[in-house]
C-alpha cells in the first residue's frame, strides 16, 4: 500500500468505491462542517474537501479535513495550483501528511475571474500534471521537487480530476493518460449526464490500458430541478447534458422534479457499475448532503465496506 488511505484500501480490495464532497463554509463555523459531514459519515469511503471552489474564499481545505478526521471520516484533501507556488504546496503537503491526511486530489482550480476576488493573481507556478508528479515523487522518491531529500516522505494516495466532455473530445483520453503517467493513483471525473459519450470515453481508456494503472471514479450529481438541469446544460463549461435529460426533469411537476432527478441518478449509477473500467463513483450532491444517505441506499451501495 502506498498510504494509509481508506479509499486506497477499498479500491485495492476490489470494492466499488463511493466518494462524496463537502464545500467548506464561508466563515469560521465548525458546526456548519459537522452538520454537513454528519450526513456523509458511513455513506461514503472518502469525502472530497474542496479548495476555494469556484475561486470563492472559504475555510482552508486542510482545516476542514482535520475536522473530518476527528469525526472518524476519511478526507480527500483538495489542492489547486491557482493559489500557491511549489514551495507553499510542498509545505502544505508535508503538514497535511504529518496530521494524518492520507488522500489528496490535485487540481488546476477555477480562474479568479469566476469568483469573489476577480483581481487576484493566478499563481499557476506549476500545472496540475506537474503537481501530480511532484506529490508522487515526494512520496515514492523521498525528494522535494528541487531535488533535496525529504527525511520523512509523505504517504499519500494521489488523485486527479478528469473532464471526459471537454473539446476536442478525441484529446480527453490522451490528457487522462498524461495524468496517469505523472503518477495519479485514482481519477475522479466531472459530472456525467451523457452516458453514451462517457461509455465511449471509457472504452478508449480501457483500450489504452489506463484503467489497469489507475482507478477511475465516475462523477455524478443529482439534478434537483429543471432550472438546475438547464443551467448545467447552458452555463457550465465542459458539461454535456443531453436535451432528453433536461426534458425528462422538466416534464415533471415542480414538486416531483427532485425525485425524478434522484431516480435518474440511481439509473446512471446502475449503468456505471456495469461499465468496464469504472471503479466507483464520486457523488457530488452540491449542498444536498442530507439526501446522500437516501441516494446511496436506493442505489444499492450500502453498507460501505470495512477494510
Cell 489547486 appears where? 80
180's enclosing H/E stretch is helix 172-182
Cβ proximity of 77 and 65 under 8 Å: yes
Cβ proximity of 7 and 186 under 8 Å: yes
Q: Which residues pair with 187 in a beta bridge?
A: 160, 216
Round to whole Å and give the CA distance between 289 and 268: 19
Task: Give the model's pLDDT for residue 208.
Answer: 98
Q: Which residues pair with 48 in a beta bridge?
A: 21, 76
Q: Which CATH code, of 3.30.499.10, 3.20.20.220, 3.40.50.10680, 3.40.50.720, is assigned to 6-225+259-298?
A: 3.20.20.220
pTM above 0.95?
yes
Determine whether 150 is exposed, middle or buried from the number of CB atoms within 10 Å of its CB (0-12, 13-18, 19+). middle
Cβ proximity of 130 and 90 under 8 Å: no
In order, the DSSP letters of 63-98 are HHHHHHHHTT--EEEEEETTS--HHHHHHHHHHHHH
Task: Give the model's pLDDT for residue 253.
Answer: 98
Return phi, psi of residue 106, to 5°: -95, 130
Task: Give the model's pLDDT for residue 47.
Answer: 98
Domain boundaries, the chain: 6-225+259-298
Cβ proximity of 185 and 157 under 8 Å: yes
Cell 489497469 appears where? 212
- CA dihedral over 30, 92, 3, 54, signed as positive or negative: positive
Q: Is 143 helix (H, G, I), strand (E, B) or coil?
A: strand
Q: Is 248 helix (H, G, I), strand (E, B) or coil?
A: helix
Round to whole Å and give the CA distance between 280 and 14: 10
Round to whole Å and give the CA distance between 218 and 191: 8
Q: Is 186 helix (H, G, I), strand (E, B) or coil?
A: strand
Q: Measuring CA to CA, which residue among 30, 94, 78, 117 is closest to residue 284?
A: 78
Round to whole Å and give the CA distance between 301 and 307: 16
Sequential pLDDT tens for the chain (307 residues): 999 999 999 999 999 999 999 999 999 999 999 999 999 999 999 999 999 999 999 999 999 999 999 999 999 999 999 999 999 999 999 999 999 999 999 999 999 999 999 999 999 999 999 999 999 999 999 999 999 999 999 999 999 999 999 889 999 999 999 999 999 999 999 999 999 999 999 999 999 999 999 999 999 999 999 999 999 999 888 899 999 999 999 999 999 999 999 999 999 999 999 999 999 999 999 889 999 999 999 999 999 999 9
Amino acid at each position: 500500500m502506498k498510504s494509509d488511505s481508506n479509499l486506497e484500501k477499498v479500491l485495492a480490495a476490489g470494492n466499488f468505491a463511493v466518494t462524496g464532497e463537502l464545500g467548506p463554509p464561508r466563515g469560521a463555523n465548525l458546526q456548519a462542517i459537522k452538520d454537513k459531514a454528519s450526513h456523509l459519515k458511513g455513506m461514503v469511503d472518502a469525502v472530497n474537501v474542496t479548495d476555494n471552489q469556484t475561486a470563492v474564499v472559504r475555510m482552508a481545505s486542510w482545516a476542514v479535513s482535520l475536522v473530518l478526521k476527528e469525526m472518524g471520516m476519511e478526507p480527500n484533501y483538495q489542492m489547486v495550483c491557482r493559489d500557491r507556488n511549489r514551495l507553499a504546496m510542498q509545505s502544505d503537503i508535508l503538514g497535511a501528511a504529518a496530521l494524518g491526511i492520507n488522500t489528496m486530489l490535485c487540481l488546476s482550480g477555477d480562474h479568479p475571474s469566476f469568483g469573489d476576488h476577480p483581481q487576484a493573481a493566478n499563481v499557476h507556478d506549476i500545472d496540475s500534471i506537474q503537481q501530480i508528479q511532484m506529490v508522487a515523487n515526494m512520496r515514492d522518491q523521498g525528494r522535494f521537487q528541487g531535488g533535496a531529500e525529504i527525511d520523512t516522505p509523505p504517504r499519500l494516495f494521489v488523485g486527479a480530476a478528469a473532464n471526459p466532455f471537454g473539446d476536442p473530445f478525441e484529446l480527453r483520453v490522451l490528457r487522462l493518460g498524461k495524468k496517469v503517467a505523472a503518477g495519479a493513483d485514482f481519477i475522479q471525473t466531472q459530472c456525467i449526464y451523457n452516458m453514451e459519450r462517457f461509455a465511449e470515453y471509457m472504452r478508449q481508456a480501457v483500450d489504452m490500458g489506463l484503467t489497469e494503472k489507475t482507478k477511475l471514479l465516475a462523477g455524478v450529481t443529482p439534478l434537483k430541478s429543471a432550472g438546475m438541469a438547464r443551467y448545467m446544460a447552458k452555463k457550465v463549461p465542459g458539461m454535456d447534458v443531453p436535451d432528453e435529460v433536461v426534458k425528462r426533469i422538466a416534464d415533471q411537476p415542480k414538486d416531483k422534479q427532485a425525485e425524478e432527478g434522484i431516480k435518474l441518478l440511481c439509473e446512471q449509477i446502475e449503468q456505471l457499475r456495469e461499465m468496464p473500467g469504472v471503479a466507483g463513483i464520486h457523488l457530488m450532491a452540491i449542498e444536498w448532503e442530507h439526501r446522500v444517505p437516501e441516494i446511496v441506499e436506493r442505489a444499492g451501495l450500502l453498507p460501505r465496506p470495512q477494510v
